[in-house]
Structure 1
Amino acid sequence: MRCALIFVALSLLASSSLAQAPSASNVEVIYDKPEQFRDASLDSHGYERGADEYVMAELRKYLEQLGKRYLPPGQTLRIDIRDIDLAGRYEPWHPQAYEIRFMRDITWPTIDLHYVLTQQGKTLGQADARVSDKTYLQRPGRRAQSDRLYAEKAMLDEWFRKQFAVQRHTSY
């Protein structure tokens, strides 16, 4: 009986200290009318407008990871994605026209969004942004990547880091 009471007391103590710990960084991604996005599908449907579930899930997961990496504890970032134009294009005059996205200098990735950064209910910043990467073909390591959204993720990483990363000073 005494061991059970000690266990219950320790459990309550642990759960109350966890409740008081600062919350982890949080990113919420919302897609605004994804069926109308310019080009957000990796499905082999060619030029249909809209976003597919794979693209939306992958970008959401990646933005959440960026939040954990770059936002300080206690901050929340809401990102409303309003349009996506993935890198590359399907070119109907090629064999396998709707299975291969051809990457060209003029087909860079672009994501239109609105973000709101808050901490403890106070808005720290908000803005509309057009995130794009016109030099996506020159990124180091591009050819070694098998990720189908490598260009978009690299672009978002650069934007996120520049926009939200906390400057950490280290002494050497």
Structure 2
Amino acid sequence: MNVKYLLLASALTCQVALAEDAPEPNPQTEVGVVKIEWQNPKEFRDIKTSAELQSRFENRLFETLTKNINKQAEKTLKPGQTLHMQVTDIDLAGDMRPTFGATPGDLRIVKDLYPPRATFSYSVKEGDNVVIAGDEKITDMSFMHHSSRMRDRPFQYETRLFVEWLQKTVEPQL
């Protein structure tokens, strides 16, 4: 009888271990003319949250950035073109600092020292034809010095990073 329980416990333990080893699928977001695959977000440099579930924060971050990138892409791309991106790293503006019990979570301190960064590859397609493609590593070192209409909007510094990339890199090539 004890052997049955021992075998059952080992089978459950193996099943849990196998489930933990299975890789999670990369999240994808798509809005309008933009489709983004977020590759291994658990390995991103800094997309930590201070007050909400990490998975919910990541979903909100990915959806917000995709929506904001799409707004600029619709102005930049020609009709019939789409932008496909594979994001391999994001470092949000600021740095997470512990509060040592002063608040329930850590705080994100935003200073010039901690600029937003992103690493990704992209392609602009027209139908099945690739118009342009490339790999990018972008940073906005002067993110604190831009006067902006986007004050206090979620992920405003990261949005600006991608909008400026579209305007300065993609638009001239089209």
Match of 1:123 in 2: 130
Is 1:141–2:139 an aligned residue pair? no
What secondary structure is seen at the aligned counterpart in 1 of 2:154?
coil
CA contact (8 A) 1:30 1:80 kept: yes
Q: Which of residues 66, 70, 88 in structure 2 aligns to 1:60?
A: 66
Report the Cα offset of residue 58 of structure 1: 0.7
CA distance in structure 1 between the aligned counterparts of 2:124 and 2:41, rounded to whole angstroms: 22
Q: What is the TM-score normalised by the length of structure 2?
A: 0.70
Matching residue of 1:110:
117
CA distance in 1, matches of 2:140, 2:105: 23
Which of 162, 167, 171 is 2:168 aligned to? 162
Q: Residue 51 of structure 2: SS of its match in structure 1? A: coil
Paired with 1:97 and 1:131, the residues of 2 have a C-alpha distance of 33
- 1:98 Cα shift? 3.5
Identity %: 23
Give the match's secondary structure for 1:161.
Answer: helix
Structure 2: distance between partners of 1:53 and 1:78? 18
**Which residue is 1:5 aligned to?**
none
Q: Is there any run of 5+ residues in structure 1 with no aligned partner, and where?
A: 1-24, 168-172
Root-mean-square deviation (Å) = 2.9
Deviations 1:103-124 (A, max 9, x none): 1222000011000112232212
Counterpart CA distance in 1 for 2:111 and 2:132 is 35
The residue identity in structure 1 corresponding to 2:66 is: R
5+ residue gaps, structure 2: 1-31
Other-structure match for 2:14: none
Distance in 2, matches of 1:97 and 1:124, equals 49
**Cα distance change of structure 1 residues 104 and 97 upon mapping to structure 2, 3 Å threshold:** farther
Deviations along 1:57-105, one digit per CA (max 9) or x if unpaired, are 1111112222212111011210111111000011225743835311122
Between the aligned partners of 1:59 and 1:41, the Cα distance in structure 2 is 15
- Give the secondary-structure state (helix, strand or coil) at the position aligned to 1:64: helix
Post-superposition Cα deviations, 1:24-49, rounded to whole Å, max 9, x if no partner, equal x722111111122111233437xx8x
